[in-house]
Structure 1
């Protein structure tokens, strides 16, 4: 009897010994991403879906990844035509005095917005960042207020900026998740990639002060799919990298914070990118530009306009799964009053998997509609009264 019990206990012990390492190994495998970094996240850029993460809500110093928000505000000002790429910016004494990474602006030096943006995106110029902050808002302090306001608007609620550069400052922090949100918004301005994808270039070319720019993000040289976004380093923050890569229409964003070495941050970033492209596929439900309904334009030169998608309505699914047939609900505004600009919000399209909402995309006007002149409005009124109006 005792012998049988001992044999049973031995079998049980062997089973436990076999199973426990197996379970630990599975858990270790789940946490392999950015193993020794403080935090990381991987998202699909269009939907914002999180594909992998580690401590993504931990508040940490971002170092020069701060400049992702600086570049976003610059790109938005360009889109709104508040500034122009050819505008000349005069460097202040304060901008020229910035330490750390810089493009060596001199006080009173004049440089175009285009070149300053290049200096920020490629060389991580602190002086270029402050010069642009002052140009846009009058002072870096006022620009920082806009940075924090914009972060709040984007839902980056665990972020607080104290400067436009990422130089060490008390209470200057963000999270991997918030940086991914800010980066997602920046990438809506596709022109930014023409700067962040540059590996080397020159400023002041041909002059005595010619300056060679080399991208702090070495992955843009060595990995064809990577075309941005921003590195960061201080002794407190350690080595950081927010990257973006595109393969066959699927764009991903990675954030790695607090790696021990530059090679570690690059390795962790590439592991995340590889995971995304190996394990997931990008399924387009409706292409950008697809007309999804008409909206009445009151007093418009054209009585109706098309409501369209500005970007693909798409989902990310594991490669071994099929995208289901989703139910679609389109809600379009009943009317808008002219004049209305191209891109004015016109409604939403929502996709459901059963009762579960999986995706909502904004619909906008396909083109600008100006106010109709008096003669057109009069003719339209007469047609309506006589029953000959056209829809």
Structure 2
């Protein structure tokens, strides 16, 4: 679990055993006394639920297993189109795009459509031909778009995801994990236009000529069955089974969940049951608490220096308190590693230690600790000058 990534470098003077005692806090001391029972009888072969603000994964099973994800792929297709294209651009349909198998909008070679309109076809009805038309428009080809998809996945932090198609049709090299699908979804719902698309019940549009009209409807039943649901995307192929990636907001908290291989026909409703249980567990079993930094500054003695002490500090960004969903049995620790003393010369900005925040023994953050002043070594010229000054002015 990586809640907050921070840049970190090796200290310039490595500490021995730290002089700062470990600070240990229970969840109840931090204000959380809630805990929900772990849901039983989930159907999905892999699942995950994640708190989007902190990035904490609240519950998961087989979350790192590489699996096909069917049309939940289109989450990435949509967010890339929003980030890389202009909604009013016209997309020209190729013969290849028009040849995609069901589910189809049945667009035809040579037709032109507004990119913004096609996003509703993509996300509400999950049209495979639309996905390819968008991919070719943004990436020049399906292969070119897949490269962009994989680059974006890497930027988000995915290491076990690989895209081949923009629509999620089965391919042995097209896969993700339940954990990384949550990461992609968490990234996507930060985009307001993305949220607007996935929450739209129905949408009407025409091709550029005005001769063909379409109405698409949202098939995400989760929107109507769960309080605070934001929706996101369903998926199904014969290889992937039923899949769903969802999001919901309650009490200023937003969770995303993913269920993969959640049954096969006729068990179309299993994904809704699993998602509801995961969301209930995440909302009911955790309370967001503030985890403060132990301290902002320290004083260290300096051996053989022109000054005897130096201030050590944490950057302003790292002193901000960490907001984290906790359940009653969680334990938080703050471990600060600093040496008993430093040896001159010391440069301002030297990294001489670190502070780690751990949850149940696992590191959440690791923040470097910096020196605040330059301290020169007490060398022979300095001693001679000091003796001369004392002799002359004594």
Q: Which range, TM-score by smaller chain?
A: 0.5 to 0.7
Cross-structure match for 1:184? 186
Cross-structure match for 1:19? none
Matches within 5 A, 1:366-377: none
Cα distance per residue 1:62-118 (max 9 Å; x no partner): 1101112212322322xxxxx321111111121122112222222222211211112
Provide structure 2 residue ranges, at least 5 long, that are not aligned to the other structure: 1-36, 293-315, 337-347, 349-354, 368-394
- CA, structure 1 residues 142+264, in 2 after alignment: closer, same or farther (shift >3 Å)? same
Q: Which of residues 15, 28, 40 is equivalent to 1:32?
A: 40
Q: Which of residues 228, 238, 242 is equivalent to 1:239?
A: 242
1:253 aligns with 2:256: yes
- CA, structure 1 residues 240+356, in 2 after alignment: closer, same or farther (shift >3 Å)? closer
Aligned length: 289
1:119 aligns with 2:128: no
1:281 aligns with 2:287: yes
Q: Give yes or no for contact 1:41–1:50 (8 Å, CA) kept in 2.
A: yes
Q: Measure how far apart 1:138 and its partner are.
A: 0.6
Answer 1 or 2: which has greater helix percent: 1
> 2:169 and 2:321 mapped to 1: Cα distance?
37
Q: Which of residues 316, 319, 322 is equivalent to 2:325?
A: 316
What is the root-mean-square deviation in Å for CA atoms of aligned residues?
3.5
Cross-structure match for 2:66? 59
> 2:259 and 2:57 mapped to 1: Cα distance?
14
Cross-structure match for 1:130? 132
> 1:327 and 1:200 mapped to 2: Cα distance?
53
Flag the structure with more relative contact order, 1 or 2, with Cα contacts below 8 A and sequence separation at least 6.
2
Cα distance per residue 1:202-252 (max 9 Å; x no partner): 232996633221222111133341112111001111111000111121000
> 2:254 and 2:365 mapped to 1: Cα distance?
17
Cross-structure match for 1:213? 216
> 1:170 and 1:321 mapped to 2: Cα distance?
41
> 1:125 and 1:283 mapped to 2: Cα distance?
42
1:41 aligns with 2:44: no
Q: Measure how far apart 1:124 and its partner are.
A: 1.2
- CA, structure 1 residues 282+192, in 2 after alignment: closer, same or farther (shift >3 Å)? farther
Between 87-96 and 208-217, report the one with greater CA deviation: 208-217
Q: Give yes or no for contact 1:184–1:253 (8 Å, CA) kept in 2.
A: yes
TM-score, normalization by structure 1: 0.65
Provide structure 1 residue ranges, at least 5 long, that are not aligned to the other structure: 1-28, 78-82, 287-306, 329-333, 335-349, 362-391
- CA, structure 1 residues 65+353, in 2 after alignment: closer, same or farther (shift >3 Å)? closer
Q: Give yes or no for contact 1:43–1:254 (8 Å, CA) kept in 2.
A: yes
- CA, structure 1 residues 178+213, in 2 after alignment: closer, same or farther (shift >3 Å)? same
Which SS does the other structure have where 1:116 is aligned?
A: helix
Q: Give yes or no for contact 1:244–1:252 (8 Å, CA) kept in 2.
A: yes
Q: Give yes or no for contact 2:121–2:130 (8 Å, CA) kept in 1.
A: yes
> 1:159 and 1:356 mapped to 2: Cα distance?
24
- CA, structure 1 residues 203+54, in 2 after alignment: closer, same or farther (shift >3 Å)? same
Q: Which of residues 155, 173, 176 is equivalent to 1:174?
A: 176
- CA, structure 1 residues 33+252, in 2 after alignment: closer, same or farther (shift >3 Å)? farther
Which SS does the other structure have where 2:168 is aligned?
A: coil
Cα distance per residue 1:22-44 (max 9 Å; x no partner): xxxxxxx756162x221100110
